[in-house]
Amino acid sequence: MNKFFILLQVIGIVIFFCSGCNPTYLKENLSTDLEKLCKKEYNIDVQSKVIGKTIVVFLPVERLFEDSMSLAPDALEKVENVILSTSRVILSTNAELDFYMLIAADVKFSGTEIVLARYFDDLRKLMYGWMSREEYRKRVFWKVRVDHAVLEQAEFDFSNVSEMTLAYFIKHQLEQRINAEFGNLGYGFNVSLEYGQQSEEFVFTLTVADEKQFRNLCLPVILKETAFVLKSYSFNQVRRIVVTNLWDNEVILTFKEELPKYLLEKLPH
């Protein structure tokens, strides 16, 4: 991935000095131009479509995972190159885009897919040096799923793909960040998160047998990460945070106005 970050920063420098120029990729031809770029630069065939403010790229590969469940080297190289091409395009277009989404699918054996999405402003902050690589790696939506339909389709069915929204992106990213932090701290817990759009609530659920562990270990991680992510994206459509321990149905309510104090807290080890 070092190649990816180095090339992105080179592209960022070029775009910065050419910011007064006309866009290279016009919104009317964006999907076609991206497909042509991937083919010309890397001899990779992709299919692309703009859905709302999300550009979606479908990358078919013959083998996505190795037996060890790590990405196959050839698939990994293709994923990196397609992400790089997509970044080049969205950073020099007049189209109003918020997200890019890559769907890499094993179209020969299993129908397994990796879905990866990033927020355009995060990419721009990385390239202008306003964000560290470590933080950028955390700001991602990703999941693995199986879709046997891709084994039979000559053309990818984009009708089953929805536009990415900031609320959905933040919800999944926050869930991933908290569970990763639990792992880093050696906690054997897993949290799930739902976003109530009408109630403007983040609802976390997890199962912890020990009340002290729930309150003193898990809760600080959840609230600190939530405070950081909401502040980072200036996301104001959350009124309160609900954390439920399914072991004893204990519920902790925290209002948005209380979150800033958790940014300064040191996490227990």
Same domain? 186 vs 109? no
Sign of the alpha-carbon torsion through 259, 262, 263, 264: positive
Same domain? 100 vs 151? yes
Query: Does a structural domain hold residue 19?
Result: yes
Average pLDDT per block of 10 residues along the chain, 269 residues long: 54 50 86 97 97 98 86 92 91 93 94 95 88 92 92 89 97 97 92 96 97 94 97 96 97 96 79
* Spatial distance between the Cα atoms of 101 and 174, rounded to a whole number of angstroms: 18
pLDDT (0 to 100) of residue 17: 45
Predicted TM-score (pTM) of the model is 0.89
Helix axes 120-127, 73-90, angle to 10 degrees: 90
Task: Say if residues 86 and 57 touch (Cβ distance below 8 Å).
Answer: yes
In the listed set 128, 163, 198, which residue is the last one of a domain according to the structure? 163
Query: Does a structural domain hold residue 107?
Result: yes
Residue 228's closest CA among 197, 262, 254, 189? 262
């996490």: which residue's tokens? Answer: 267
Same domain? 155 vs 62? yes
Residue 181: which CATH number? 3.30.300
Same domain? 109 vs 239? no
Same domain? 145 vs 54? yes
Query: Does a structural domain hold residue 221?
Result: yes
pLDDT (0 to 100) of residue 60: 96
Task: Say if residues 269 and 185 touch (Cβ distance below 8 Å).
Answer: yes
pLDDT (0 to 100) of residue 152: 82
Number of domains in the chain: 2
Query: Does a structural domain hold residue 255?
Result: yes
Query: Does a structural domain hold residue 79?
Result: yes
* Spatial distance between the Cα atoms of 166 and 190, rounded to a whole number of angstroms: 23
* Spatial distance between the Cα atoms of 34 and 31, rounded to a whole number of angstroms: 5
In the listed set 120, 136, 163, which residue is the last one of a domain according to the structure? 163
Amino acid symbol at 27: K
Q: How many CA atoms lie within 13 A of 62 on its CB side?
A: 3
Which residues in 225-248 are b (16+ Cβ under 10 Å) and which e? bbbbbbebbeeeebebbbbbbeee
Query: Does a structural domain hold residue 269?
Result: no
Same domain? 50 vs 146? yes
Query: Does a structural domain hold residue 139?
Result: yes
Residue 115 main-chain phi, psi, to 5 deg: -110, 125
Same domain? 81 vs 18? yes
Same domain? 154 vs 180? no
- Residues of the domain holding 252: 168-264
Same domain? 138 vs 182? no
Query: Does a structural domain hold residue 128?
Result: yes
Same domain? 156 vs 63? yes
Same domain? 130 vs 206? no
In the listed set 163, 188, 221, which residue is the last one of a domain according to the structure? 163
User: SS in 3 state form for the chain?
Assistant: CHHHHHHHHHHHHHHHHCCCCCCCECHHHHHHHHHHHHHHHHCCCCEEEEECCEEEEEEEECCCECCCCCECHHHHHHHHHHHHHHHHHHCCECCCCCEEEEEEEECCCCCEEEEEEEEHHHHHHHHCCCCCHHHHHHCCEEEEEECHHHHCCCCCCHHHCCCCCHHHHHHHHHHHHHHHHHHHCCCCCCCEEEEECCCCEEEEEECCCCHHHHHHHHHHHHHHHHHHHHHHCCCCCCCEEEEEECCCCEEEEEEHHHHHHHHHCCCCC
Same domain? 159 vs 193? no
